[in-house]
Amino acid sequence: MQVKDIIKELELFAPPSFQESYDNAGLIVGNSNDAVSAALISLDITEEVVQEAIDRKCDLIISHHPIIMGGIKRLNGNNYVERSVIKAIKNNIAIYACHTNADSVKTGVNGMISKKIGLQNCKILDPKKNSLLKLVTYAPKANADAVREAIFSAGAGNIGNYDSCSFNTEGTGTFKANADANPHVGNLGELHQEEEIRIETVVPAYLKNKVVSALLKSHPYEEVAFDLFPLENVWNEVGSGMIGELPEAESELDFLKRIKKIFNVGCIKYTSLLNKPVKKVALCGGAGSFLVNKAKALGADVFISGDFKYHQYFDAENQLVIADIGHFESEQFTKELFYELLTKKIPNFAVCLSNVNTNPIKYL
């Protein structure tokens, strides 16, 4: 097994292009061609975690938070980041981070939190914009099925719970091949008319190259005519946070007590209770305060996240209850998420969960 085999599965689940601009998800230490025998999964990386990888004979650490976020100009071992990286390199341990890309996918960090709380009918709280394209292409009638099939297999044509979505219209294509051409139909130097199908479908922007390459491979023409248009539509499958419903409404206090237990929170910080039952729950693992207004607009009764600053609690405005359950606590099940994914996809590969509690915050 090579590092890249493990990365492939992680990136099929959480494509790296879904990470935020400030992020540094990906292979941070090591080479993707390095051999790998076992992976250790952790939320954060500290020297203790690297030591654990050494002790448990793991040559890859998969973390949620990237150990390097800003630039590093020196590696002198002057802080825990440098020391962790040096220790990993000296011991031939690769480090891979799956961060905001795992936050953005529906079955990622927030999907896991929703599952733990027992939410139903979950939707992305703030779907990603500018992430869809429209592909229009023209195929000879006899080849339209094969072209459609190829682009669908490459990831085009998915809308919610539907795949193979396209719109097709018949028309006439014209072309005149010059002396250097080798046309699939028609003769050199003669204007040719061909019955064609105009195929329109939707493509996630990150799959553009894959879909175009599938189109070119499956299309019989030497020069394939196709157009890609950026779409204003939001893509509901990818984005920040999650909103869903409890199977049965709970009182605010009962709900918060249950959350405290599920996430083993030392102390939940929350805003005034509104004395109404909790049914709709919005959430975001980690630092999600930027989503409060979205949660309010969608009618959430409670918004669960971490890392709220004092003034941000005022944003509740008696429209919902903000519950700060802590950054670490809210994301703790991400380890389980990576573990479940890898043991399912690569059953013959050893994956261990870190036993180090990396939460730097203690409660008195």
Within 330-359, the residues that bind Zn ion by CB under 5 A are: 331
Q: Measured from the CB of residue 152, what is the shortest distance to Zn ion in angstroms?
A: 35
What residues contact residue 126 under an 8 Å CB cut-off, 6+ apart? Answer: 239, 240, 241, 291, 294
CB 292 within 8 A of CB 312: yes
Give every CB contact of residue 36 below 8 A, 6+ residues apart in sequence. 1, 2, 3, 5, 6, 59, 60, 94
List the one residue out of 171, 164, 221 whose CA is nearest residue 197.
171
Nearer residue to Zn ion within complex by CB, 215 or 304: 304
Binding mask 295-334 for Zn ion (x = CB under 5 A): ------------------------------------x---
Smallest distance from Zn ion to CB 342, Å: 20
Residue (157 or 286) nearer to Zn ion, CB: 286
Nearest Cα to 2, choosing from 39, 44, 32, 45?
A: 32
Between 244 and 306, CB nearer to Zn ion: 306
* Residues touching Zn ion, count (CB under 5 A): 2
Which residues, in sequence order, are CB contacts of 284 under 8 Å at separation 6+? Answer: 103, 110, 125, 240, 241, 242, 291, 303, 304, 305, 330
Distance from chain centroid for Cα 361:
27
Q: Smaller CB distance to Zn ion: residue 99 or 280?
A: 99
CA of residue 123 relative to chain centroid, distance = 14
| Residue with smaller CB distance to Zn ion, 66 or 286 | 286
CA torsion angle 77 80 82 86 (round to 10): 80
What's the closest the beta carbon of residue 113 comes to Zn ion, in angstroms?
12
- Shortest CB 229 distance to Zn ion, Å: 35
Nearer to Zn ion, 108 or 286 (CB): 286
Least Cβ distance, residue 142 to Zn ion (angstroms): 52
Calculate the CA 63 to chain-centre distance: 15
Residue sitting closest to Zn ion (CB): 286
Q: How far is the CB of 78 from Zn ion (least distance, A)?
A: 24
Strand order in the sheet with 191-204: 167-176, 191-204, 132-140, 226-230
Taking alpha carbons only, the member of 307, 299, 257 closest to residue 279 is 299
CB 274 within 8 A of CB 252: yes
- Nearest distance in Å: CB 28, Zn ion: 16
Which residue, 165 or 268, has its beta carbon nearer to Zn ion? 268
Contacting Zn ion within 232-291 (CB under 5 A): 286
Q: Which sign does the torsion angle of CA 121, 126, 131, 137 carry?
A: positive
Beta carbon of residue 157, minimum distance to Zn ion (angstroms, whole number): 33
Of 11 and 331, nearer to Zn ion (C-beta) is: 331
What residue ranges bind Zn ion (CB under 5 A)?
A: 286, 331
